[in-house]
Structure 1
Amino acid sequence: MEYELRDHTADVAVAATGDTLEAVFAAVADGLAAASCDDVPVDVGDRFTVSVTAESREALLFDFLDELIYLRDVREALPVDHRVETIDELGSEGWRLEASAREVPLDEVDAREVKAVTYSEMRLEQTDEGWESYVVFDV
């Protein structure tokens, strides 16, 4: 899995790829962390879990990233080193994600504020090589 930060007008975008849906979700989340901070300490912060449900895969990606931004603000800690354990389709109930991340206290990093995830130009698609995503964040 990998991500690339891209300039986007007054915002920042993350283009990500992964062999699996879980891998591309984790790569986009890592891209969100990279958009927020250049250098992340490797030996600081505890892991925490994240559970999200939504009506579609795209909404699940949006809600996952939105939850990470919310948790950053509430916990005053930057989520990094994302692991998406499972993404399950629940039939008529939508989709569910189970993930974890390491939280680094904001006073340990020089963080830029990423205000929100947007649906603007959001793309999530399966390819012959795996999965690709493109997400724009409001900064």
Structure 2
Amino acid sequence: MFSMCYTLREHTADVAVEAHGSTLGNVFAAVADGLTAAMCDELAETGDRFSFSVRAESREALLFDYLDQLIYERDVRGVLPAAHEATVRQTDDEWIVDASARGIPFADVDARDVKAVTYSEMRLEETGNGWEAYVVFDV
């Protein structure tokens, strides 16, 4: 059984990530790895890990907010988030992702801009093999 994987898909003028994971956290991290791949072909082994948590009212909103937070962290820290790890849990009334990524300094990579995550065609569903997600990013 797989742990997590992603595939970049062409999507009109945008880019889409189709991801699979054995757990909800793994599929979140796989989509984030796809986001990183959409921004950069070759990753440097530099950079320090940073952590953050995001809360939302639904799984789909949590995925959107998690990816949006990664784009925010990229812009504020001046790094390319990579090597993603995520754990997703549910409390009584909200979903929470506790996440980390390695922030590769922009000086160490040739990165392309991804402007934003979109709700356009977003899909997050449980399957017999774990979880699948499809997310479109505005480039």
- Range into which the TM-score falls when normalised by the shorter chain: over 0.9
How far 1:96 moved relative to its partner?
0.7
Residue 91 of structure 1 aligns to a residue whose secondary structure is coil
Q: Alpha carbon RMSD of aligned pairs, Å? A: 0.6
1:29 to 4, 28, 32: 32
- Superposed CA offset, 1:39-76 (max 9, x none): 0012x000000100001000000000000000100111
| 2:112 is aligned with 1:112 | yes
Distance in 1 between residues matched to 2:112 and 2:49, nearest whole Å: 22
How far 1:107 moved relative to its partner?
1.4
Residue 41 of structure 2 aligns to a residue whose secondary structure is coil
- Structure 1-normalised TM-score? 0.96
1:63 paired residue number:
65
Distance in 2 between residues matched to 1:129 and 1:55, nearest whole Å: 25
How far 1:90 moved relative to its partner?
1.3
2:22 paired residue number:
19
Task: Provide structure 2 residue ranges, at least 5 long, that are not aligned to the other structure.
Answer: none
Amino acid at match of 1:5: L
Distance in 1 between residues matched to 2:96 and 2:21, nearest whole Å: 18
Distance in 1 between residues matched to 2:24 and 2:9, nearest whole Å: 21
Amino acid at match of 1:31: G
Distance in 1 between residues matched to 2:41 and 2:59, nearest whole Å: 29
| 2:117 is aligned with 1:90 | no
Amino acid at match of 1:66: D
Question: Identity percentage over the alignment?
Answer: 65
2:128 paired residue number:
128
How far 1:89 moved relative to its partner?
0.8
List, as ranges, runs of 4+ consecutive aligned residues in structure 1 with deviation greater than 2 Å.
Answer: none
Distance in 2 between residues matched to 1:119 and 1:91, nearest whole Å: 25
Distance in 1 between residues matched to 2:134 and 2:55, nearest whole Å: 20
